[in-house]
Structure 1
Amino acid sequence: MTETLETRFDRLILLVGKLNYMWTNTESLLIHLIAGLSGTNKDVAVIIFLTLNTTRARIDLVERLAKMEGRPAEIRDPILEHTQRLSKLSSIRNRYNHCIYSFDAESGNPKTILMRIADRKTDIKLGRSDTVDEQAIKEIEDIVAQLSAANRDIWRLISTLGFPV
């Protein structure tokens, strides 16, 4: 049974590693959007990107630059579609990055314990726990595939718009 537990856990950890790699690689494409939308070069855009501490802040910046007055819809709209797409994909990435892992004693499945405090009206709730079963593994695999497609699509948009690479 230990081998089964180790195999399941190894599969999960490798998949979360792939998710992180794909996320980081795809999020870094925001650098090119920042450069193009702000009319600067890639080096300046890298500094801006790295100065912003969160994905949300980076996406907000790109969206605000895209929405600036006078921005043509043919530039604004596809950029907003991609940033909204990334925002949706970020929730599962956050779920598997901001947790600790344990094992369910009965099923042997890995479990995530969310490292977040949920403030309620009169109390707090700590560490929501979710089982990482086969359905959850498939969900992560699906998100990795969606990130791969988003990456290709954003590169295509950067090229189409002639933004700095």
Structure 2
Amino acid sequence: MMKRTARPLSETLENRFDRLILLVGKLNYMWTNTESLLIHMIAGLSGTQKDVAVIIFLTLNTTRARIDLVERLAKMEGRPAEIRDPILAHTHRLTKLSSIRNKFNHCIYSFDADSGNPKTILMRIADRKTDIKLGREDTVDEQAIQEIENIVSQLSAANRDIWRLITQLGFPV
């Protein structure tokens, strides 16, 4: 009978980290693909060609600015509610989904020495009344992995729904 040897701790840590990085990569891919659908909304709402909307989209260098533009165009006076309301519902949906994407893009990663779980260290400064807080740390345990997988699934559904709306409204594709 062969003696079974335990896998080295470094291999376990590496597997956990690889799983996290692959999942964050998928999250980023889904996010970028879904955010780019705002191009079609910009084109349709502003009455421009898609090429012009691409330039506008790329000139705005944050997701928040792109969503703000789409929302403002949707809210313009005279915009029918049947166009405005579903667009606003989708931009609100994207805004909610962006928080976890931001969390995993604006951090560095390390490992918890006790559990072996990857950790995120947020690369932002939190201003308080009388002090600042740096580097909030969160453990990426199985629950966090499930949360990322859930957001990826929600982004996939949002992508399909936004495409459906773009087609329904006859916006440039």
State the match for 2:84 in structure 1: 76
In 2, Cα distance between the equivalents of 1:46 and 1:158? 15
Q: Is 1:14 the equivalent of 2:22?
A: yes
Tell which structure's C-alpha radius of gyration is larger. 2
Alpha-carbon RMSD across the aligned residues, in angstroms, is: 0.3
Q: 1:120 pairs with 122, 128, 133, which one?
A: 128
Calculate the TM-score normalised by the size of structure 1: 1.00
In 1, Cα distance between the equivalents of 2:10 and 2:122? 25
Query: What SS class does the counterpart of residue 20 from structure 2 fall into?
Result: helix
Query: What SS class does the counterpart of residue 101 from structure 1 fall into?
Result: strand
Q: Is 1:43 the equivalent of 2:51?
A: yes
Q: 1:61 pairs with 43, 66, 69, which one?
A: 69
Q: CA deviation at 1:154?
A: 0.2
Q: Is 1:111 the equivalent of 2:119?
A: yes
Deviations 1:71-90, CA, capped at 9 Å, x for gaps? 00000000000000000000
Q: 1:145 pairs with 143, 147, 153, which one?
A: 153
Q: Is 1:34 the equivalent of 2:53?
A: no
In 1, Cα distance between the equivalents of 2:75 and 2:15? 47
State the match for 1:163 in structure 2: 171
| Matched residue type, 1:65 | L
State the match for 1:135 in structure 2: 143
In 2, Cα distance between the equivalents of 1:17 and 1:94? 13
| Matched residue type, 1:155 | W
Query: What SS class does the counterpart of residue 102 from structure 1 fall into?
Result: strand
Query: What SS class does the counterpart of residue 111 from structure 1 fall into?
Result: strand
Q: Is 1:2 the equivalent of 2:7?
A: no
Alignment gaps of 5+ in structure 1:
none
Q: CA deviation at 1:50?
A: 0.3
Q: CA deviation at 1:2?
A: 1.1
Q: How many residues align?
A: 165
In 2, Cα distance between the equivalents of 1:50 and 1:36? 16
Alignment gaps of 5+ in structure 2:
1-8
